[in-house]
Structure 1
Amino acid sequence: MKNKMRPFLTIALLALTLLGAACQTTPKVESQGDYVLQITQIDTSNFPLVNVYVSVRDTNGEPQVINTGKLQLLENGQPVSGQSIQGEGEVGPLTTLLVIDNSGSMNYAGKLDSAKKVAHEYIDQMRAGDQAGIITFNTEVHVVQDITADTQTLGSAIDSITAISDTALYDALVQAIATLNPLSGRKAIIVLTDGLDNQSIATPDEALSSIGFGGLSISTVGFGLLPEGEEETDQYSGIDENTLRMIAQNAGGRYGYAENEAELSALYDQMRRALQSEVVISYVTPLSLRDGVQRALTVTLADRYSGVGGQSQTGYNPGGLVPEVAQPASWPLFFGLLAVLVLLLCIPLILNAFKGGGDNNKTTKRKKKSKIKITLKD
């Protein structure tokens, strides 16, 4: 049986390999130096043009304004030439999705009222050209307000939020990512929750893997009480800090914890200012084929007097179901070759079937020859 299944397993693995090459990998960031550099979003939707969004903060999380001429970009360890860079400057208009937990646990300690107040503050500080949307989640995910630049409409949507039922955080992330994927430019999700997901169908990894080639970042805010020592997280007032931190670290965002409304307001304000002060580097990669091969990116803040002020490393995959070539073959030819491959893999099954039939006939004849005849005498 194992031998018969082997060709099908081979085909399945081949299909997964081809599909995996088409997925955009999620940025993972490492920072060092006096400044915290973070590659927050990589947009390859117009590949080979790549837009790299970079946030610069001090060690306290405060956003810093820098001279973009001090930033150096490397791809696969090689400096990107000045001729390849098509633009450097401010990030421009920002699209934010505020994802707010409105499960029953947010009714405790006035958490939902604080979340709504802080969401109003964020919306009130939007710049001209910025836009936002509101998504809530409990047992179900609700798009309370589609993406809009109308702050009054957004404010009314925030006021309408009430809390009830359980939590489906990861399903809400899938919905938020699907909403932002088709949009262009700098896109960010800010999730506020007590972090106790107990209803989602999706997993954190499935949510992160759904990020499209345009990229986006996800920042998470834990609003509640951390368990002390080895104490289990409280069902109503605790947060799952490890999961929230993991999501942010793997999606170019930040994780922050707030225990009260004042801390929450300060954290949202800091995140907003950091997003609005980012810079973008646009360059044409010399590796211009969508070959499904991972590319390493490094951004360094360098100063000839003080040396390296910070560094961020991550990677991206340009995608491609099959490697591109200068003269791509036609789709009919591709599917024809794939059909031949499948047929070749099925040949052992066909041979085994015929062989099995022959063996059965021989066994039957052998049994007939060895049949014993018994005669009874008077």
Structure 2
Amino acid sequence: MRKYKSIIAVALSLALSAQAASAQGPRRAITQIGTERLLAGQTVRLYITGADAGTAPDDVRVEESADGVSFYDRAVGSVSENANVDEGISFFFLLDNSGSMWTDLRGRESDDGNALRIAHAKAAALDFLADVGAADSVGLAVFNTRYWRPLRPTADTRAVADAITEIAKPPKEDAFTELYLSLDRAISEFAEVPGRRVLIVLSDGEDYPYLARTNKPNPDFGAAVSSPSAVIARAVSEGVTCYAVRFGADKDPSLGTVAAESGGTAFDASDGAELSGIYAAIRADVLRETAVDYRAGMQPGDRRYVRASVDGGATWTPARYYYAGTVFGSARERPGALFLIPLMAAAVLWLALWLFKLERPTSRAGISLLYGPSGKRTEIFALSGARTVIGGGAEADITIAGNPSLKASHATILFDEVRGEYTVAAPSDLTVNNRPVAKKRLEPGDVINMAGTVVVFDDTSSSMTSRTTNVRGGTRRALPGARKPRKQ
């Protein structure tokens, strides 16, 4: 029986791929912009769908713009048709586990467990696991009133299968679907994983937020709110592609827009066979992508627009943008003499600050040196501005000398003024709370290890706090979704 289901799924995946290509906008598009190496090597990676097999590197062109109007050529470093096969793809399933998922395909109560929507969703996810590549990883989260992530992306498909199988029916008192708050959190957590990131969200209905319906804080998210536009901004800034699967007749009206704006596609499914076909189609499309590495420009401003051509400039993908941070410079490769004036002024200011910047404690956001070079006493360093470089070289904003393994510009902490959030990023030799990361949103108390130099992040002025729930005068950490809500 499983053999026939697999044949049906493959046939459906081919049909769905063709349908998506014809109905979902342009054939060629940038699906993800990878900026993990932007700070250290001024290199950006584009994942492009729709390129013809055997595309010659000389036919690939990339252009950047600071305003989305005037575009300039950038130097292409490498072109690979097999990057996703060789380096692997990280998949993250975000599954709706509201009460309506425990009804049959027509939305009716049923005693037949195999007829339930959740059974179809589980079976399709298990079919997907059977086909993932050796270099791929898969993670899982479920949502309803709460958000619960039982598993970070891992190559252990058996552990993923066990986590999928163990998804349980939610209690009746949990009756809400926090679609966009859960998407926002899933994207933030998934952004810590380097490489090609594919988030697949399955939902059988509309966003039904707890706070808006009850005027009470959500037991997991508190008073936080989100929206489709906020999720799109998060996905773009974190470089995560969202694929949306709308399961059943009830559909969220904005979920397709979120998928398209993040570089993904929206699909509709009515049963498990169609779900299996969709999952296979998504993986097949991502495997066919072409990875293009290019040297980023130095235009001023936080936002950079980029477009690409794989036919020598005859046609171009729609422009997408990424966030680069404000830096000195322009698109010119050889700056003029006037360009040196702000640099000289910055150097003079740096000399004035360097003598005492490692000595002054701060009550603002900052990092505390917990373990550094031998004999180095504990210090507290302030974080100011949108970008703070930490390293062993004199050019770093925070210089920690004495560790030969610490690079001159080892890591960068970025501040998002809109969200009031700090993010640490580094191309290598970086762990946060003993987990290797390329980029991570910081919370007070996070322990950052840079090649043996250890600092602790703190933000006394931040609203970021541990997610807790009052219990008879005390506090406890909110339970992550062992209780999963039902949709009304």
TM-score interval, normalised by the smaller of the two chains: 0.5 to 0.7
Aligned residues: 280
Q: Are 1:249 and 2:260 matched, yes or no?
A: yes
2:284 aligned to which of 269, 273, 277: 273
1:346-368 Cα deviation digits (max 9, x unpaired): xxxxxxxxxxxxxxxxxxxxxxx
Q: Are 1:56 and 2:50 matched, yes or no?
A: yes
Conserved in 1, the CA contact under 8 Å of 2:231 and 2:258?
A: no
1:146-185 matched pairs, under 5 angstroms? 146-164=152-170, 165=174, 166-185=176-195
1:222-301 matched pairs, under 5 angstroms? 222-225=246-249, 238-240=250-252, 242-287=253-298, 291-301=300-310
1:50-88 Cα deviation digits (max 9, x unpaired): 11111228xxxxxx645253433222323333xx42453
2:55 is aligned to 67
SS at match of 2:254: helix
More helix by share: 1
Conserved in 2, the CA contact under 8 Å of 1:45 and 1:214?
A: no
Distance 1:213 1:326 in 2: 28
1:80 aligned to which of 53, 74, 77: 74
1:116 aligned to which of 122, 134, 138: 122
* TM-fit CA distance, 1:147: 1.8
More divergent stretch after superposition (250-259 vs 310-319): 310-319
Q: Residues 281 and 313 of structure 1: is their aligned pair in 2 closer, same or farther, counting only changes over 3 Å?
A: same
1:186 is aligned to 196
Distance 2:230 2:236 in 1: 12
1:44 is aligned to 35
1:34-59 Cα deviation digits (max 9, x unpaired): 971121111223222111111228xx
Conserved in 2, the CA contact under 8 Å of 1:219 and 1:254?
A: yes
* TM-fit CA distance, 1:185: 0.8
Distance 1:100 1:33 in 2: 23
Distance 2:180 2:233 in 1: 12
Distance 2:93 2:293 in 1: 27
Q: Residues 107 and 66 of structure 1: is their aligned pair in 2 closer, same or farther, counting only changes over 3 Å?
A: farther
- Higher alpha-carbon Rg: 1
2:96 is aligned to 101
Q: Residues 117 and 254 of structure 1: is their aligned pair in 2 closer, same or farther, counting only changes over 3 Å?
A: same
1:220 is aligned to 244
Conserved in 1, the CA contact under 8 Å of 2:64 and 2:307?
A: yes
Distance 1:214 1:208 in 2: 10
Q: Which amino acid aligns with 1:71?
A: V
Q: Which amino acid aligns with 1:104?
A: G
Q: Which amino acid aligns with 1:270?
A: A
Q: Normalized against structure 2, the TM-score is what?
A: 0.52
Distance 1:111 1:33 in 2: 26
Distance 2:122 2:79 in 1: 38
Conserved in 2, the CA contact under 8 Å of 1:33 and 1:311?
A: no
Q: Normalized against structure 1, the TM-score is what?
A: 0.66
SS at match of 1:42: strand
For the aligned residues, what is the CA RMSD?
Answer: 3.2
1:95-133 Cα deviation digits (max 9, x unpaired): 111000000011122211111111112222111111111
Distance 2:94 2:56 in 1: 32
* TM-fit CA distance, 1:293: 4.1
SS at match of 1:295: strand
* TM-fit CA distance, 1:172: 1.4
1:371 is aligned to none
The higher relative CO (CA closer than 8 Å, separation ≥ 6) is in 1
Conserved in 1, the CA contact under 8 Å of 2:188 and 2:238?
A: no
1:333-344 matched pairs, under 5 angstroms? none
Conserved in 2, the CA contact under 8 Å of 1:32 and 1:312?
A: no
1:179-224 Cα deviation digits (max 9, x unpaired): 1222211111000111321126322222333347551111101001
* TM-fit CA distance, 1:261: 2.0
Conserved in 1, the CA contact under 8 Å of 2:30 and 2:317?
A: no
Conserved in 2, the CA contact under 8 Å of 1:131 and 1:150?
A: yes
Conserved in 2, the CA contact under 8 Å of 1:101 and 1:138?
A: yes
Q: Which amino acid aligns with 2:61?
A: Q
Distance 1:326 1:151 in 2: 51
Distance 2:288 2:255 in 1: 24
SS at match of 2:286: helix
Q: Which amino acid aligns with 2:29?
A: Q
Distance 2:245 2:239 in 1: 20
Instruction: List gaps (5 residues or longer) in structure 1.
Output: 1-30, 58-63, 226-237, 339-378
1:348-359 matched pairs, under 5 angstroms? none
Conserved in 1, the CA contact under 8 Å of 2:28 and 2:317?
A: yes
* TM-fit CA distance, 1:146: 1.9
